[in-house]
Each structure stands twice: as structure tokens, then as C-alpha cells.
Amino acid sequence: MPKKETKYIFVVGGVMSSVGKGIAASSIGKILQSRGYAITNIKADMYVNLDAGTIRPAEHGEVFVGEDGIEADQDLGNYERFTNQVSTRENYITTGQIYAEVIKRERNLEYEGEDVEVYPDIPKEIIRRIEACQKKNNAEIVIIEYGGTVGEYQLLPFLEAVRMMKSKKPLDVFIVLISYLPTPSLLGEQKSKPTQHAVTDLYSVGLNPDFVICRADHPATPDIKRTISNVCSLPVERIVSAPDVYSIYDVPVNFEKENFGGVLLKTIGLSQRHKDLADWTALAAKIKKMKKEVHIGIVGKYFNFKSCKDTYISVIESINHSAWASNFKPDIIWLDSEKYENDHKLLSELDELDGIIVPGGFGKRGTEGMILAADYARRNKIPYFGLCLGMQIMTIAYARHVLNLNHANSTEFDSNTPDPVIATMQDQIEKIKNKNYGATMRLGACPASLKKGSIAEAAYHESKISERHRHRYEVNPKYVDRLEKAGLVFSGKSPSGILMEIAELPKNKHPFYLGTQFHPEFKSRPLSPHPLFTAFIKACIGRQKK
Ligand code: GLN
């Protein structure tokens, strides 16, 4: 049998960003995977940053950490949640990486005396990376999502890469345009003109969409579909509706209602296969039926005018997965920690909640408010779950209020603290001194051993785990003995026993008071929620019953 060629599906945005390109790309991955195809998803971002590690989360969204420690755009988290495929650095491309590689090669005389040009050397390197990712994942179909929208200057080399690939492999390279159909309130009808302009932008760089996905608040009308199909010279079946849905997990299900998977395979020239999306479809249906709510406060600081949804997306989704598994509808309340610093009385609002989470974060701002909230949750037996910074915060609160080390702190927030219960990790000292900040934290998957009889061990049902990390500071080994003697249990430790990975209070002292130095939120999946989030949610539901 002749070898089947790999198929490449490029997902590009038109009209405007933030309309769910990442979810669409994840859903395309999901529906192809559900038919037994080996897929891999790539995100290509236009910025010159080498990775997402130095970017402000309040504006650009969460930094998602892969198993291998890549600090990537949040879309890699969507891919993982939808397809359960583990992303590594090959799945993430930026303009910065492309240029850095080309310049490095130039310095190594690898261009053999030729001058190095933006065209074709930059697109060539983009293609090389896409193909390398395909090889590493042995993928039959590669889905590459481009950040930004067509018509942007920065996207040109990336679009040129598509054109170059397509001219070599016309039957293997496809373009899905994710567009937006506005419905002006005065008119009350969907408009396709902005989409037509986006298609024209693609034409101008020598590309044609093979599919148009119409994001809108309502399904695309047959008229609109016909108009767009005419403009793009595409059969109507390749114009796909993507209306707003109850949850993002509905998107693949909706795509299948339009038989997008079937049409996609027909178009790219792969055989139709049996589809297995039953569990996923059942979950998407179940989510809508849930009535009983569980109320979770997130005490954080990366809140901005837009939304906190992108900043804390993996935390939110992990809460969702575990709440749904317990047949509860999550109600998330955003609590800006800084307000507690100005008015301690406001802490009493935590009484109304079923539990609180202190998520990851960097820098001093807001940490005093978080410490107050952690202490309040301990004294009032409110379930508390600390994620990375949240574990450091609960350790500081414990040192201050149980060990009476009134000025205990992290050296990150107070370099002169008399009691640095959280201190710079040894290997970080030199890096911070040299301002060597990019990709230098303790990153990615690391193993840990769990203590027998602990809450953590009971949740995981095993004693050896591996979780993803992203931090520079740690529980100071010099204080571990004292903290343990005062009742804080370090129930997870690195194999060497030096790094504290989980801190908790025993069940007879508190219903759930637990923090992790790692980020469990990166490994929760809709159909396999994270055990610690599930244990936390169960404790929150338990508080409701009281
Ligand atoms: N700022 C803390 C550290 O670097 C916590 C990091 C985090 O929450 N990801 O250790």
C-alpha cells in the first residue's frame, strides 16, 4: 500500500481575535482523533518572545507549562484538555524562536556564504519546525493554529510558509478560516461582509480557505452560508456554523452535528472511520443539566478589565471538571486579595463560600491579603487549596500565626525578612543575580513521593506522582522541622526529600487545608479530573452539608 501523506490543517483567524480559535483548533483535533487518527496540535504565536514565560498573564492569559517545561500560550492547555495529547516544546512556535534559530545557523556558517533573507529563510524555518513536530508525534494530521488574524503584518511569514507548503503538497495542506459574523443590534441580522474582507486578505497572499468556520452568537443562517460559499468558491458544506455554546466542550459536538468531521476527512482525502465521541457528548450534555452549585472563591491578583477567565483558565477548567464529576455546577467568585489588606473585616465574606483557592502568582503585590485569607480559612475551617504561590502563602500564614514568627515571609516579597520560611531555591540565586529570567525557573514534570495516610495519598491512590512545576522559591529546608512540629504535614516531597511538594493539615484539624508547590491544574481533563481538585471539591460540598 502506498504510504499515506501527512495532512496539515492551518487554522487562521479573520475579522477579529478572541473568538475561540483555540477551541476550534482543539475541537478539530478532537473530532479527527475520535475517528482514530493520530493528530498533533501546534500553536504559532507572532510575538518575538522566545516563549510565553515572561509575558504578563493579566493581559495575555495564563502561561501553560508542558511536561518538558515549555512555558507556552494557554491554547496548548486547550489542546491537552480536548485531545489528552501531551504538548512539548515542538508544539509551540514563536517568531522569536524562528529568528533565533536562523541567526544561530547564520553564525555557524550553515548558509554557506549566502545572505539570509526574511523570504524564504524565515518561512522555511517555520516549515521545518512544523515537520519536526509531526515526526516527533508520528502524527497523520497536524493542526497548526496561528495567533492573530489575517491582514496582520507579523503574520505574513507564517502565511508564506503555508503557501510554500501548499505549492509543494497541494493535496495535503488545508486552511480553515475562523471568522466572525457580527449581528448589529439595529439590524438584527448576521453580516458576512467582514468575513468577505478576511477572505480577500487571504487571497492577497495567494491563499484560499478550504473551510470557513462562522463564529457568531447564533448559528449561521443558510443565506449567509450561501453568500460565504459563493465568495470563497467553496461548497456550502464547507461553511461551518459555530454559534455560542453553553460550554466549550459543546464545540466538537456541534461540529459533528454539521458533519464537519466527515466533510473534513472527505476534503483532505482521508477515509471515513468509525467515530467514538460518546463519552464526550454525554459529558457535554450532562454539564447543562446540573443545578446544585458549589461556590468557590479564587483569591488572586491578576484581574483586569477584560476577564480573569484567560488568566486562570486551567484553574477554572480544573474546578469545572471536578465539580461536574460530583454533579455540581461550579460558581466561581473572583476575590481580589488586595482589598483584605485595607480592610480585614472584608474577610468575613469568605464564610459564605464553600472553599477558596489561592492560585499561582509572582511578586509582592496582593500577597499580604492572600496570607490573611489563608489564615482566615485555617481558623474558620473553610476548605483551602493553594496552587504553587498558594502553598507558599499558607506556609507563611502558618509560620506567622502558629509558630508566632510574626514577620515570616518569602524572600520574593521581603528580602530582609528575619524568617524566610519561603526562600530562593539554591540554583536560582545566581540566575536572579544575573537577571537571567527567561525559561530558568524549576519547570515541567518532576516526581514526588507521598506520605502514607495523608490526604494527598488518599486522593491520588498512589504514593509516587509526577506533576508540572513553575517556580523559583521553595519552602526553606531550615524551617521544615519547626513547621512539622507545629502540625503542618509535608505530605509530598521530592525523591531526595529536600523539596517540599505538598503541605497539608490532618483531617482531624481541618476539612481540607492543602497546598501544592506544583500546578495540578495543568493535568486535569474533562473526563479525568485531577484527584486533588476532586478531593477539594468534595470537601467544599461537605461544608455545604453542615
Ligand atoms: N512566585 C512563586 C515562585 O516563584 C510562585 C510561582 C507560582 O505560583 N507559579 O516560587
Strands 409-410 and 420-424: parallel
Assigned C-alpha cell, 105: 545557523
Task: Please give the pLDDT value at position 4.
Answer: 78
Assigned C-alpha cell, 364: 509582592
Active site residue 519: yes
Task: Please give the pLDDT value at position 307.
Answer: 61
Strands 293-300 and 329-336: parallel
Task: Report the CATH number of the 290-545 domain.
Answer: 3.40.50.880
Distance separating alpha carbons of residues 259 and 418, to the nearest angstrom: 64
Alpha carbon of residue 362 to chain centroid: 18
Distance separating alpha carbons of residues 146 and 25, to the nearest angstrom: 10
Residue 51 CA neighbour count, 13 Å, CB half: 21
How are the residues of the chain apportioned to helix, strand and coil, as percentages rounded to the nearest 5? 40, 20, 35
CA of 487 to the centre of ligand 1 (A): 24
Distance separating alpha carbons of residues 35 and 203, to the nearest angstrom: 32
> Annotated catalytic residue: which of 388, 412, 504, 530?
388
Which residues is 450 bridged to in the sheet?
492
- Testing ligand 1's pocket by substitution, the residue of 422, 424, 427, 470 carrying the most ligand atoms inside 8 A of its CB is 470
CB burial of residue 358 (10 Å; 0-12, 13-18, 19+): buried
Asked if 97 contacts 111 with a C-beta cutoff of 8 angstroms, the reply is no
462 vs 492, 500, 527, 531, CA distance in Å? Answer: 12, 18, 20, 11
Q: What is the pLDDT along the chain (546 residues), one digit of tens a residue?
A: 556 799 999 999 987 777 889 999 999 999 999 999 999 999 999 999 999 999 888 878 899 999 999 999 999 999 999 999 999 999 999 999 999 999 999 999 999 999 999 999 999 999 999 999 999 999 999 999 999 999 899 999 999 999 999 999 999 999 999 999 999 988 888 999 999 999 999 999 999 999 999 999 999 999 999 999 998 899 999 999 999 999 999 999 999 999 999 999 999 999 999 999 999 999 999 999 999 999 999 999 887 655 678 899 999 999 999 999 999 999 999 999 999 999 999 999 999 999 999 999 999 999 999 999 999 999 999 999 999 999 999 999 999 999 999 999 999 999 999 999 999 988 888 998 889 999 899 999 999 999 999 999 999 999 999 999 999 999 999 999 999 999 999 999 999 999 999 999 999 999 999 999 999 999 999 999 999 999 999 999 999 977
CA of 501 to the centre of ligand 1 (A): 13
Distance separating alpha carbons of residues 95 and 51, to the nearest angstrom: 10
CA of 405 to the centre of ligand 1 (A): 22
Which secondary structure element, helix H or strand E, spans residue 29, and what is its range?
helix 21-33
CA of 350 to the centre of ligand 1 (A): 24
Active site residue 510: no
> Annotated catalytic residue: which of 469, 471, 519, 530?
519
Asked if 180 contacts 216 with a C-beta cutoff of 8 angstroms, the reply is yes
Q: Which residue type does 271 have? A: S
Secondary structure of 331-398 in the HEC alphabet? EEEEEECHHHHHCHHHHHHHHHCCEEEECCCCCCCCHHHHHHHHHHHHHCCCCEEEECHHHHHHHHHH
Tell the residue number behind the cell numbers 510558509, with chain if given: 161
Residue nearest to atom 8 of ligand 1 (CA): 360
Active site residue 80: no
Asked if 285 contacts 273 with a C-beta cutoff of 8 angstroms, the reply is no
Q: Give the residue from 477, 481, 470 showing the smallest Cα distance to 522.
A: 470
Distance separating alpha carbons of residues 499 and 14, to the nearest angstrom: 47
Residue nearest to atom 1 of ligand 1 (CA): 362
Task: Please give the pLDDT value at position 306.
Answer: 54
Q: 157 — phi, psi (to 5°)?
A: -60, -30
Fold of 7-283: Rossmann fold (3.40.50)
Asked if 12 contacts 176 with a C-beta cutoff of 8 angstroms, the reply is yes
Q: DSSP of 411-445, one letter per residue?
A: TTT-TT-S-EEEEE-GGGHHHHHTT--TT-SEEEE
Angle of CA points 128, 52, 180, to nearest 5°? 80
Q: Domain-by-domain residue ranges, the chain?
A: 7-283, 290-545
CA of 420 to the centre of ligand 1 (A): 15
Is 7-283's fold the same as 290-545's? yes
Task: Please give the pLDDT value at position 304.
Answer: 67
Ligand 1: residues within 6 Å at CB?
360-362, 388-389, 412, 470-473
Residues 6+ apart with CB under 8 A from 324: 283, 286, 287, 290, 330, 526, 529
Crossing angle (nearest 10°) for helices 278-289 and 313-325:
90
